[in-house]
Amino acid sequence: MKKILWIVCLCLVFAYSLEVNGQTTSKGDIRFFYSKNQAKKLQIDYVSEFYFGQQSIQTIDKEYFAFLQPFRVKATGKLEKGPNFIQITDNRQTYTGWNLELKQENQFSDSEGRILDGASISFEHGRAVTNSTSELPDGKERFVLFPNESVNVMQAKEGTGEGSFQFVWGKDAEEGEKSIHLSVPGRTIKYDTNYTTNFQWILVSAPWQ
């Protein structure tokens, strides 16, 4: 007759109290720097051109809308269109603030100096946007620009404005395509030719006074 021997193991779990015999601290460190192509400066990175297309000659008051800004989606390479914008970068680390001003240097004119008398440009749905943690600059949501006149578009008050910021006209393409328009009176004589103008964007390292 076989005997079966059962062996019972008693497992005991002991909890040890660890005595703290001392403590210290260690450090983590990282150093950021500007590369050679990232100089510490205040600059305009980009500004949209305003194209109002080819239009038939009219003898009534008309508004012509600026084309949207084309851009390529980085992830897909697809060409899209969005609101017109200007981008500012401040890498100076001085936090003195800055001001962006827009001036139309001359009335729309052709190669012979003939102008679109009475024409003006309206900007609407303007707003500042950024991926930075800095406070957003102030800006003018809407304004009308006349030849040889200046408008304060955007300003970063003292203590703010560090990083990159865009001022866009329209929250999306649908709103953007109606945000900048050229108004031309019907009484204005128009010739079968191209009319152009120049816009001067002035960025200074001081906020509005």
Question: Residue 23 has what pLDDT?
Answer: 79
Nearest residue to 180 (alpha-carbon basis) of 151, 141, 128: 141
Domains and CATH numbers, the chain: 42-204 (2.60.40)
* DSSP per-residue string spanning 39-101: -S-EEEEEE-----------SS-EEEEPPPEEEE-TTT--EEEE--EEEEEE-S-----EEEE
Separation CA 44–CA 162 (nearest Å)? 13
The predicted-structure confidence for 99-133, as pLDDT tens digits, reads as follows: 999 999 999 999 999 999 999 999 999 999 999 88
Question: Residue 204 has what pLDDT?
Answer: 93
Residue 175 has φ and ψ, to the nearest 5°, of -75, -35
- Mean pLDDT computed over every residue of the chain: 86
Separation CA 162–CA 6 (nearest Å)? 77
Separation CA 198–CA 200 (nearest Å)? 7
The predicted-structure confidence for 135-180, as pLDDT tens digits, reads as follows: 999 999 999 999 999 999 999 999 889 999 999 999 999 999 999 9
Separation CA 31–CA 39 (nearest Å)? 16
Question: Residue 74 has what pLDDT?
Answer: 85
Nearest residue to 180 (alpha-carbon basis) of 20, 48, 58: 48
Q: Is the pLDDT of residue 4 over 80?
A: no
The predicted-structure confidence for 12-68, as pLDDT tens digits, reads as follows: 444 445 566 777 666 666 565 556 665 678 999 999 999 999 999 999 999 999 999
Question: Residue 128 has what pLDDT?
Answer: 96
Question: Residue 180 has what pLDDT?
Answer: 96
Tell me whether residue 209 is exposed, middle or buried, using C-beta atoms within 10 angstroms of its C-beta: 0 to 12, 13 to 18, 19 or more.
exposed
